[in-house]
Structure 1
């Protein structure tokens, strides 16, 4: 009878959570996801069509009709990207709801497991309180005595199993909560990107309207506008190149820095400039923050404090990227590296391991130290001081090194675009349609800068 009671306890622990988890992944959720994925696939086809139109138009001779058509295609592509990102946000929202339900089910399961454990302890105590002599002298039969002994052993075994189940449930719950946090951060990032894309569309629409207003739709008038906008090499070199969290510098200086980094890494100079231009554009939308409120407190702050101390800066006065609403900011300088990433290029090591990652305790707590031998950027620039994320020469080199690591040195359009996407979203998210705008934007900027470089070379 006791053994039957134990079985009921154990079954209640496992069966009920399975029902709850099954509800969390119901057919309705799966059907909705399939519908969103189908809509997203259709939008991706339409985006690809607009991309093909853009490529064909850009091959044509410069004309009013061509350039208006290019702007129209860019605007339409951006609108489609916004719609596609909206679908991605809706999918993420569903995932967030599903993860939240899973966590609730796991929490309920943990409560039941603890209740079951308490009941097992009670039964153990009941059997433990009865000594062997008491049981032998009792009115119970010998067969009942040995049944109680078997029950005692069985309960001990169930106790061990229950401890294992509770530990597994806690670990699973922690994993689900981490995934939930990641989904929320990704959703917020996509919402911020929507604002960026909307502003881009507004700028393109204004440019289109201005062209038609100035030329009144006349090709001859447009050709005159183009001629007046054509710049000499001297004008190109003197034009200011804006940088994230740093003063603007003449384009000629920026090109010299990009060329130097290109010679060391094999990454095209125009592409390096394109990445830095895109990062600056994103920064204009997010703004500047502080390490105290915007930086990841356990992953990045310990490294950041060591970086600023080594460079002689006051940590609180150094600009970093603003937290985008959910998740963390804290990226530094023109190249926008977070401190834990800069550590691996700028020579900062966790003294417990001698490497730039987590310590032996599994965290980024440190202590941290600067190592000249580990400073990859310094080795490439030839500087005599530690690499500095707010120094332009170091920032250009850092961007080039990461782009090389991402595959940009292959030199093809596809390789460069993918490397840019990895720069922004990491290797795991680089192929997600929601982030495609970044790769496209970098390549558009790189094309513009390559044209400027070609003019300077003639």
Structure 2
């Protein structure tokens, strides 16, 4: 028979085990919190490192421009009258070139087939009107739009053809799209993973369903509205870190990862010049309506897309010059290289706004 002492010891042990289990849970929670904090700190440090490197590169560009300006100033002091008159003519030529730059068409991604691309001057005026109204520097806003177009040129554009899987066809010669044999992918080819068909955490609807609703509300045919293609890459994870490899696309649209053990990663589906995925567009759609005074807004419309981009950048902290780098990085999912490119483009555009001039290097970035 069990004695009272044995029963007492049994329950004492049970209480001890329960206490030990609680302590273990507390330790596990503590370590998980510590791990999350370390990950957040790592992201912050990487962003700070990227911002410093970007700032050094921009300072080098500014120093070069300043040295060129000083050389020009010194040259002007040494001019004779005849040379001075020639200089005036050269100044007129510069002003003429600035006007010509304003008239040049600027490549903007995500326009619908019958939409005319704007001139640089038109896009800049739109950025000024929207940026000043929302509270975002116009040069920064236009740099974001231009950066998105640069990415779109590289990745290409797609049409959705499958309303179940979110797959579709390729309509642009993206430099990254290659077949397993190394040959370039061609227009009309099938591509998977254009828009995510599944519901993500904290989402009520998938991006695919939201996209179909958006185009239906606007009266568009979903098979004729361009969205960004999937960036062809595969990934694997190990101890909380992601590792990436290249991917190629077969003629049937299926994906081949370059490395064994890797799986296709991410989706495309970004809409219009500002390249919003449908779920993000829905989050700020009402604010775009409020800002534009429209009852219906369209992510493929220039005014609406510029306004949406400005509002989102402001929400991300891009309303001040000091917050622009971080806002640009977060706009593209935490990419420091993206933010660095935006910062340089913004400087080029600001130089044009302030001085009416653009170096050949800047022209290469903007056009």
Q: TM-score, normalised by structure 1?
A: 0.44
Considering fraction of residues, name the structure with more helix: 1
Question: Is the Cα contact below 8 Å between 2:325 and 2:340 reproduced in 1?
Answer: yes
Instruction: Give the whole-Å Cα distance in 2 for the aligned partners of 1:259 and 1:49.
Output: 28
Instruction: Give the whole-Å Cα distance in 2 for the aligned partners of 1:319 and 1:301.
Output: 14
Gaps of 5+ in 1: 1-36, 67-225, 347-374
Hey, what does 2:272 align to over in structure 1? 333
Superposed CA offset, 1:47-90 (max 9, x none): 956853651452353449x9xxxxxxxxxxxxxxxxxxxxxxxx
2:137 matched to 1:268? Answer: yes
Instruction: Give the whole-Å Cα distance in 2 for the aligned partners of 1:47 and 1:312.
Output: 42
Hey, what does 2:346 align to over in structure 1? 446
- 1:309 is aligned, of 216, 221, 227, to 216
3-state DSSP class of the match of 2:118?
Answer: strand
Instruction: Give the whole-Å Cα distance in 2 for the aligned partners of 1:343 and 1:47.
Output: 30
Superposed CA offset, 1:308-329 (max 9, x none): 1111001121111111232211
3-state DSSP class of the match of 1:244?
Answer: coil
Residue pairs, 1:49-448, within 5 angstroms? 51-52=55-56, 54-56=58-60, 58-60=62-64, 61-63=66-68, 232-246=97-111, 247-291=116-160, 292-293=166-167, 294-297=194-197, 298=199, 299-325=206-232, 326-346=265-285, 375-383=286-294, 385-410=295-320, 412=321, 414-425=322-333, 430=334, 435-448=335-348
Instruction: Give the whole-Å Cα distance in 2 for the aligned partners of 1:268 and 1:389.
Output: 21
Instruction: Give the whole-Å Cα distance in 1 for the aligned partners of 2:57 and 2:271.
Output: 37
CA shift for structure 1 position 231: 5.4
Residue pairs, 1:24-35, within 5 angstroms? none
Compared with structure 1, are the counterparts of its residues 396 and 454 closer, same or farther at alpha carbon in structure 2 (3 Å cutoff)? same
Compared with structure 1, are the counterparts of its residues 456 and 379 closer, same or farther at alpha carbon in structure 2 (3 Å cutoff)? farther
Question: Is the Cα contact below 8 Å between 1:290 and 1:330 reproduced in 2?
Answer: no
Instruction: Give the whole-Å Cα distance in 2 for the aligned partners of 1:406 and 1:45.
Output: 19
Instruction: Give the whole-Å Cα distance in 1 for the aligned partners of 2:98 and 2:126.
Output: 17
3-state DSSP class of the match of 2:319?
Answer: helix
Instruction: Give the whole-Å Cα distance in 2 for the aligned partners of 1:49 and 1:305.
Output: 41
Gaps of 5+ in 2: 1-41, 72-90, 161-165, 168-193, 200-205, 233-264, 358-367
3-state DSSP class of the match of 1:418?
Answer: helix
Superposed CA offset, 1:407-458 (max 9, x none): 1112x2x311111111111xxxx3xxxx21111111111111111112359x
Runs of 4+ in 1 over 6 A off after TM superposition: 44-47, 226-230
Question: Is the Cα contact below 8 Å between 2:58 and 2:344 reproduced in 1?
Answer: no
CA shift for structure 1 position 248: 2.5
RMSD over aligned Cα, in angstroms?
A: 4.0
Compare CA radii of gyration and give the structure with the larger one.
1
Q: TM-score, normalised by structure 2?
A: 0.54
Instruction: Give the whole-Å Cα distance in 1 for the aligned partners of 2:96 and 2:284.
Output: 38
Greater length-normalized contact order (CA 8 Å, ≥ 6 residues apart): 2
Instruction: Give the whole-Å Cα distance in 2 for the aligned partners of 1:456 and 1:50.
Output: 24
Instruction: Give the whole-Å Cα distance in 2 for the aligned partners of 1:422 and 1:236.
Output: 31
Superposed CA offset, 1:304-352 (max 9, x none): 1111111100112111111123221111000100111111222xxxxxx
Question: Is the Cα contact below 8 Å between 1:320 and 1:331 reproduced in 2?
Answer: yes
3-state DSSP class of the match of 2:332?
Answer: helix
Instruction: Give the whole-Å Cα distance in 2 for the aligned partners of 1:57 and 1:320.
Output: 34
